[in-house]
Every structure is written in structure tokens, then in C-alpha cells.
Structure 1
Amino acid sequence: MTVPAFEEYVPASDCTCAGCAVQRRTAAAVLPTRQGGHPAAHGARRALVLVTAAGVVLSGGLAEAATGAAGPGRVTDPAPGADPAADPASAPDAVTADPVMPDDPEDAADPADPGPDSPQGGPGPLQGAGASGPPAGTPTLRKTTRADIINRAKKWVAAQVPYSMSKYWLDGYRQDCSGYLSMAWDLPGNEWTGSLASYGTRIARADLQPGDMLLFHNPADPSKGSHVTIFGGWTDYTHTHYTAYEQTMPHTRKQTTPMAYWTHSSSYVAYRYTGLTTETGGSSSTRAFPGAGQFGPGANNAHVTELGKLLVERGGKRFYKVGPGPAWGSADQQATAAFQKAQGWKGKEADGIPGPDTWRLLTTGTGNDIPAAGGTGTGGSTATPAYPGRGNFRTGQSNSHVDRLGKQLVKKGYGKYYLSGPGPRWGEADRRNVEAFQKAQGWRGAEADGYPGPETWRRLFA
């Protein structure tokens, strides 16, 4: 009996039929050994091919062989960087595998789009820069604006830049997620998920603004889930979804994404580019603090007008019956003091005269907005109530503070553990919802134990 000869089939990258699509996904599931894949996986694959051949010989028919080769398992979604079209060398070595389930039930927002699960390119220069590694010493910070960051991000979306860990786009940046962020932030070289944080300042998720990044770096195994997205703005008032710009399979995309991501959501940390300015048009200069002498009784200059406009943008409009204008008045001082108090400052730190820190927060768009009075305005829904103390949030406690806490958690989108209520009696549902809120701030360990402290309370009601 003649043994049929088997020849491995590599699907065309541009074929849209279902069979080729499945074959491409299967080929993308595992990287080859030469690119860091595990030899055992390829051994299993070769065994699968031999079993398939034996099934054909014994059965005498190709149909039975096809059934045996498919098997009962499911095919995982492709890992970014392993697409044969983007990295042809990865196509011949693949194995069918069951999908990897998320570590936490809350990470399973959309099993159909689990996100990237692939090694990222390491830090290095732009293509053709001549160096073999990242610049030494303190990272270089090029000044840029939020508008410039988003506009650069949109260019790759419009061009549908294909995902690749080894290829570089026309602008010299590597075509993976960290290369995309490096391009959008205008970094001097190609970074990776393990180095991007050095170019940013960690912020709370509640403070995210367009151009900030959400970063998950897995130090134990960087090839397992590490990813970064660019925050493009909230898509709803609950702040549970946002517009994400990201580089993933098969190409750059912009889409509504659960906060913070489809998988490993609780592990994503928000960062703001340290070199950010609020100037428009890509100016390289920051708005330096003009000095305390430019503000206060008797001052009359353009800096006072600029201060007033910044305060109005941050929730201080109610203090101004007219203006803002160049002549310093009580409205300027009251609005400045309200902004300072919103940061948790007291005494001389909240005297209504702007110093360097007040000016920096206003001109960079960071810090807390001015709470609105009477439940209206852009600064927040209510003035922040005073923190009542830890003793009110323990097993067996029943009081109005627990009820207020629960209602605010629901309002902020952190009420999924309530089967009924919330109510005045402290329970496990309250603790788990508080824990989810704390983790969303990037806190871990004792900082995210589910029991609200002063900072949790302030951020929750800010």
C-alpha cells in the first residue's frame, strides 16, 4: 500500500476564506523555537502531524484524517507579532491549544478579544539610528501636547500599520504596541513595556485624559500579556469604557474598550507623559510659573487673566460674575483657594495665592478639579464630605456613612458585587466593591484591602 505524502500548507496572507483564516490563527498560536517558543510545543505539533498521517493510512480516506487532525480542542486567537503576514518566519511552527483564561473573573469582559499575549520588542534606537541600545542616563523628554499625541496616534490608525515585533514603520518606530506608544509620545527611541513607565508620572485612573497611557507590564513573564494602550477619552459617564488607540493584531486600531482592558484589567496602571505641556501647535516651551509677585491684591497683568481662565476650566466658573480679567480680585483668590483645597492642601498651602505647584497642576491639566456647589458644575457632583473614620466600615457596623459609600460606589461604576442595596449595614459586597475601586487606582496589597481610608474616600467623592 502506498503511503500518501503530506505537504504542509501555508495559507496566503490575503485569502479571506474561512479555512485560510483558521489556518492563519493556528499558525500564529505559538512562536517558533528560534524566536523564543518552547521546543515541547513544536514536538507536540510534529506528533500531531504523524498521528494524522497514520490515521490516513489506517482509514484509507482523507476525510477521517481531517477529522482527527482537527481534534476537539479550540484554536486560540492569534498573538500579536506572530501573524505570518507580519512575521513570515513564525508561520511553519504552530500548535493547536486551548485558550488561556484570564487570571480574574473581572478580566473576562470579552473572551472573543482577549488582547495581546506575545513578547514585545526591547528598548532600542529608531531604525537606522546606529546605536544598539537605549540612550544611557536620564530619559530624554521632548515637549509635546495632548493634541499632538492623539494626532500622531491617528496617523497609524489611518494607515492601518500592520503589527510586527521585527518591522519598523516609515517614521522609524517598531510596529508593536510599545513602539506605537513611543511614536505617539515622540520618544527618542523604541521602548518596551518594561521601560515606558520611566517617561511618565503615575496617576489615578479617575484622572485620565487624552494622551495618557494605560500600561500592563508583567515582570515575572513579560511575554505573558504585557501591553500598552493610549487613552483617547471616556465614552460614557460611568467611566467604564474609553476610546483606546492601540497597536495589536492585525493592525493599529481605535475602538471602545472596557476600562482598563479586555484581559488583566486590574493590572493596568495609568501614566501621564512627563514632558507634556498645554501649549497648542507643538510648542517646545512650557508655561513657566511667572512668580508669586504677579498675583495678589493690586496685581494687574495677563498672568492674572490666564490664571482665571485655567480656574474656570477646572470648575471655578461660579466664583466669577464677570471676567476673568487682568485685575486681581476676590474671585481670583476664592477660586484659587478652592482649587488648592481640592488637592487636600490646608493652611498657607490653600491661601488663594498661586505658587509653583498650583500653577503646574493648572497648566498641565493634572490634579483634582474644584468640587461644584449644590451638586452642579464641572468640578464634581457634590462637595467632598468629610471622612468619617475607619471604624464606620467594619463587620457589624450599620450607619449612614456605609449607605453613602455604597451609593457613591454604584455611581462611579463599582457596584457589581451588590445583589441588592446598597444599604447602611457593612457587608462583604461593600468591601469587594471598595477593593475594586482601590485596584483601579493602581494600588495593591494593604492599599487595596477593601476598607476605605481617607485617600480612598477623597478620590471616591472627588
Structure 2
Amino acid sequence: MEAPVFEEFDPAGGCDCPGCVHWRRVAPFSLPVRGGGHPASRAAHRTLALAAAAGTALAAGQALPAAAAHAPALPGADAAGEPAAPRGAAAPLQVSATAATRAKFPETTRAEIIKRAKKWVAARVPYDMDKYWSDGYRQDCSGFISMAWNLGTNQWTGSLAAYGERITKEELQPGDMLLFHNSADPQKGSHVVIFGGWTDYTHKSYTAYEQARPHARKQATPYAYWSNSARYVPYRYKGLAPSSGGSGGQTATAFPGRKYFGPGADNKYVTQLGRMLVERGAGGHYRSGPGPRWTDADRRATRAFQLAQGWTGADADGLPGPATWSYLVKGKGKDVKGGSDTSGGSASHGVPAFPGRGLFRPGAENRYVTLLGERLVKKGFGRHYEEGPGPRWTEADRRNVEAFQRAQGWRGGAADGYPGPETWRRLFT
């Protein structure tokens, strides 16, 4: 019995253009058109179904022509400075096991988002819009964000916005994304990256995690991007866990309540409050850095911030309320000038007060790390920086501090790369 002839079959045995090659690979897993799939995949689905139905009637040795639903070639953008990173269409994960039913916005945290992004960077996953990594995510820029946000499906630049809430530049925090979708011509410049945190207090540059040729990378990037900067839009993932609100260990954006602050309090919100106060210039009140146990340093730092806003009386009692919390979380109001108490922590002879050892440890992220780095560079001890000083403590900071300490003739524990009061004094004298 002769095989029936269908329009969907390519009599030439299959087109080798990039578009056809792409759809032959992903069509069996693609979504239907009504579910967001590419129209070209519908023809391929019909082809596979008809081929299966007709296969039993074919004579032995008779081969069916290859199925091919034509799609346009997908060239990379060639404008100067733009990533050569064409985007694939939305598609399910490319894994062999049957995926379990997932929530529309699977819950995750900022730390988990950055951890997943770093995993691809460490593996130097090659850029390829037609291939899928071992975790099932497509190896292009939108597949990278789908992976980092743990969406359980491969989205593209035209659909990712539906998974996020639009935010402002000032609200950006690690794990958010910066998206440029060129709706007029998606293959011309469209790109998306994960925001990893500001590189300095000016907010003119940030750490970007992205998938672009030749492989996944992390690098300091001018805001919002190298090209088409004005067209990038910041978004926050809708499935972000409520307890993952901020960078550097912060855990909430909504005021948790007065009961979490004051004598006897010991919880994560006290730590978050202290870190936000340090960012706003009140770090001089802390001897060893913010921690979960409420101390008088927290009260003094909070009061200093309240006074800096011009508040008096009960509004400047050193205990945070909704207004104080909102100003700190949203970066509103005035910073604390001086940032020290009057019991010996104030600056003298032009040397800024040492803010405490706890602000210079792995995981620390604050303006004092930037201040330290800039001073090290000025003193000629910045050779270990690859991208320049920033607010996040890195091994480069530690090695530069160690070099400075050794230049003072110190050895052993005195030259461990972590600044203390004497290191600080000598650096700023």
C-alpha cells in the first residue's frame, strides 16, 4: 500500500535552513498555538501524528520523507555592542522524565535565583538557541532567565514579562531581571539579564548574569545595558518568596511589626534593620556589625536615621515604625551624616570612624566596603581588583587589604586581609 501524500511533508526530504532545523528539534515538545507555541510547530505536530497513523501501512523498507514546518532563519543581532543572542520560542523543558504539575509561578528566593545563575556561569554553558542544557532549559538568554527563575518551562523575551512585576530602577535587587523585547523585530537586539547588584553607590553600573555568546557570564555592566539602554525594563519575579525581599540577607519589604524590635528582641528583622541603617550611613554606631540580637547600637543607629529626616520627639525614639521601615526599604529620605555616636566612635583628624569588623566579611555588602576599596586603590593596593571596588565584599578586597597589612610589616593574624581599627586608621590617615 502506498503511503498517502500530505502537504506537510517536504518532498525534498527536509529543508536545512536554521529555522527548519530548530523546529524539527523542538516541535515534538512544543506548545500548541493556542497555548503560546509557534505556528510552525502545529504543522510539524500534524505531520508526526499522520506519520504515526500511516506507518503501520507502509511496506517494508519504505521510508517516509522528513517532516519540516518552515520557519524563518534566526540570525543574531549584528549592531555594534549588542549581544549576538537570538531568542528561541516558548517551549517546555527538554527532559525525558515526565514533569510533575507545577504552579504558575513556582516559589523561589533571591538567593536561589543567583545560585542557579552562578551554576551556569561556572559551567560556562555555551550559547545555543537550538540546544538544551542537562537541566532542560534552552541555552539562550530567555532560557537562562527561565532557568534562574525556576519557571519549569522555556519562555522567550516576548513572554517573560508576564512572569514579573514591573519595578523602578531604585527598587532593583539581586534576582530581578532587566528585559528588552523589541516587539517590532524580536531578533533585533532583544535581550534579558539577571540583575546581580550594584557595583558602587552611584548606581551607574551593576553586576549582570546573562547568557550570550560564547557562554554564560557574569560581568560589570553599565545601567541598563551596553546598547539600547533606554529600552530595558526592570521586573521582579511574581513567585518571589515573601521572606527573600532584599540583598545581603535582607528578608522583608513590608514592616514586620513593632514587636520584633526593642530590648530582648532576637530575630532576622533586627539584622535587616541594621544592614539597611549601615547602608544609609549609620554604621559608625556598630562595633561588630548588625546582628539578630537587639542592642543599644541598633537604637542609636535608628535614632540617628530618624533625626536625619528631621523627625523629633516620639518619631525619633530609636525604635523603627512603619515610616522608618518604609524609608529604609525604599531608599527614601536623607542619609545619616557622620554616622557615629559620641562615645568614642566618631571620626577624628579627618579619619572616618571604623564601622566595625562585621561589615568586612564574606557575604557583606555595604558602602563601607566600597569606601575601603577606593582607599586601597588610592594607596596603590588595588591590583587584585578586576572590575574595581564595589559594595560587595570579595576575595579581591581581602587580598588587597592583606597586601596593605603586609606593607606595614605585619605578619600572621595581623595580616589576614580583614581590616581592623588600626588598618582602617592607617589607610585613611
Relative to the length of structure 2, the TM-score reads: 0.48
TM-score of the pair, normalised by structure 1: 0.45
